[in-house]
Amino acid sequence: MKQAQHQPSRRDMRRALTAVAAALAAMVSLTLPIAPAMAQQQKIKIGLMLPYTGTYAALGNAITNAFKLYVDENGGKLGGREVEYFVVDDESDPSKAPDNANKLVKRDKVDVLVGTVHSGVALAMAKVARDNSTLLIIPNAGAGDITGPLCAPNIFRTSFSNWQPGYAMGKIAAEQKKKTAVTFTWKYAAGEESTGGFKEGFEAGGGKVVKEMTLPFPQVEFQSYLTEIAALKPDVVYVFFAGGGAVKFVKDYAAAGLNKTIPLYGPGFLTDGTLEAQGDAAQGLLTTLHYADGLNNPKDKAFRAAYLKAFKAEPDVYAVGGYDAAQLLNVGLTAVKGDISKRNELVAAMESAKIDSPRGPMTLSKAHNPVQDIYLRKVEGKENKVIGVAVKALADPARGCKL
């Protein structure tokens, strides 16, 4: 039997047209860029690329905690926009860094990259940030090239250059009339720049570095080097080690009895976030850094109390770098009311930011690196007590930066 043909009514036609229009609108919204006003209502995507495993794991966690702490204190927002995190463990492995950074930028399409601890990894991140014009904020890694020949309008650092604390410690050692020094570090940008900064400050003040020793990152077989130091008998030893490596070195130095005869100096990374594990071996050590215990400024007091409450742990220098990375980004985003596409205005606001940092007031150099006091600290119990200012308002020389 022949079926009766269904004639569409006007109502059916209207429904069909509405459905087609909705489908078209959905397709258009997928293919066209989102209008700025709508974009500002979306979450801002932050790519946290940091070490969560390996010798720098504790450092990556401290930075992450403090970055999130600031965002939480700011109502879960930066520049009025809610925040969405994309997190990658970079393992402090430079060979994996380009892939890791590219995943965040190209696959996850983050608005901002934040990272990292290890200078070699940060150098790769800086290249990806430059190639893609992605905003990058470095909360720790001190590689000189990043605010030197590779400096760029879209790259900022809230920590230090490796040169800064090294240079300050060299100046102090020379002022103390030490004549000879041995330096020792992992062989990569951070260690070589830190010991290079020490040498510059020490030799400008009349000292002489008689031997520069290195071992591959992240090796911790220190024994043969300690034997060599004992034989060389310098007036002072300056080393760059951090995280788990710093714990082991300080303990090995004391176990070899060298702490009784040759003073051990370093940038503050040698004893920051590590004193619990280093115990007696670290007592009395002198270091230089842009952060210390006992600063007692109102911002530091509030920061320490909030960090302790949130994480049941004392913050360290790494936490300060993470907290200030969030503060700096908030300054930029607030200036453009969350519209990150206004890049020039955002960069200008970040460049002229006056950050109320737990370390004290912080401004940035033309190369986007902190200009800051470098404190002289002494280990007393579980604290890196501030005992003076080694160099006031020290700026990295930013050699090769063309900004």
78 binds ligand BEZ (CB under 6 A): no
Please, which of residues 226-245 interact with ligand BEZ by CB under 6 A? 242
Residue 163 sits in the site that holds ligand BEZ (CB under 6 A): no
Torsion region of 309: left, alpha or beta (phi above 0 gives left; psi -120 to 50 gives alpha): alpha
Q: How far is the CB of 369 from ligand BEZ (least distance, A)?
A: 12
Counting residues that bind ligand BEZ (by CB under 6 A) gives 11
Nearer to ligand BEZ, 50 or 349 (CB): 50
C-alpha–C-alpha distance, residues 155 and 351, integer Å = 10
Q: Should residue 162 be labelled a site residue for ligand BEZ when binding is judged by CB under 6 A?
A: yes
Residue from 44, 46, 47, 118 that binds ligand BEZ (CB under 6 A)? 118
Tell me: does residue 286 bind ligand BEZ (CB under 6 A). Answer: no
Looking at 30-38, 136-144, 206-214, 276-284, which segment touches ligand BEZ (CB under 6 A)? 136-144
Which of 45-84 are b and which e, b meaning 16 or more Cβ less than 10 Å from the residue's Cβ? bbbbbbbbebbbbbbbbbbbbbbbbbbeebeebbbbbebe
User: Element (H or E) spanning 360, and its range?
Assistant: strand 360-364
Which CA distances in Å does 156 have to 138, 225, 369? 6, 36, 7
Element at 106 (helix H, strand E): none
Q: Is 269 in the site for ligand BEZ (CB under 6 A)?
A: yes
Residues 172-190: b if buried by 16+ CB within 10 A, e if exposed: bbbeeebeebbbbbbebbb
Smaller CB separation from ligand BEZ, 190 or 333: 190
What is the Cα–Cα distance from 148 to 402, expressed in whole angstroms?
Answer: 8
Q: Looking at beta carbons only, is 316 or 339 nearer to ligand BEZ?
A: 316
Our separate counts of H helices and E strands in the chain read 13, 15
Which of 40-48, 95-103, 138-146, 300-308 is the region at the interface with ligand BEZ (rule: CB under 6 A)?
138-146
Closest CA to 113 of 68, 60, 47: 47
For residue 298, the 8-state DSSP code is H
Cβ distance 41 to 79 under 8 Å? Answer: no
CA neighbor of 184 nearest in space, from 140, 274, 245: 245
55, 100, 119, 369: which one binds ligand BEZ (CB under 6 A): 119
Output the CA–CA distances (angstroms, integers) from residue 4 to 1, 7, 8, in the order listed. Answer: 9, 9, 13
- Judged by CB under 6 A, the stretch of 45-53, 124-132, 135-143, 303-311 that binds ligand BEZ is 135-143
117 makes contact with ligand BEZ (CB under 6 A): yes
Burial of 212 (0-12, 13-18, 19+ CB in 10 A): middle
Q: C-alpha angle 283/160/319, rounded to 5°? A: 65
Under rule CB under 6 A, residue 369 binds ligand BEZ: no
The secondary structure element, H or E, covering residue 230 is: helix 223-232
| Least distance in angstroms from the C-beta of 347 to ligand BEZ | 24
Which of 47, 51, 54, 142 lies at the binding interface for ligand BEZ (CB under 6 A)? 142
User: Least CB distance from residue 178 to ligand BEZ, whole Å?
Assistant: 24
Pick between residue 185 and residue 259 the one whose CB is nearest to ligand BEZ: 185
Whole-angstrom distance, CA of residue 131 vs CA of residue 143: 18
Applying CB under 6 A, the span of 7-15, 141-149, 220-228, 276-284 interacting with ligand BEZ comes to: 141-149
Q: Token digits for 196?
A: 């290079």
The answer to whether residue 50 forms part of the interface with ligand BEZ (CB under 6 A) is no
Q: Does 364 bind ligand BEZ (CB under 6 A)?
A: no
CB neighbour list of residue 109: distance below 8 Å, 6 or more residues apart:
45
Could you give the string, one character per residue 319-348, with x where binding to ligand BEZ holds by CB under 6 A and - elsewhere? ------------------------------
Closest distance between ligand BEZ and the C-beta of residue 339, in Å? Answer: 32
| Closer residue to ligand BEZ in complex, CB, 56/335 | 56
Shortest CB 190 distance to ligand BEZ, Å:
3
In the complex with ligand BEZ, the residue whose CB is nearer, 117 or 335, is: 117
| Minimum distance, C-beta of residue 40 to ligand BEZ, in the bound complex (Å) | 34
Determine, following the binding rule CB under 6 A, whether residue 141 of this chain makes contact with ligand BEZ.
yes
Contact between 155 and ligand BEZ by CB under 6 A: the answer reads no
Which residues are at the interface with ligand BEZ (CB under 6 A)?
117-119, 140-143, 162, 190, 242, 269
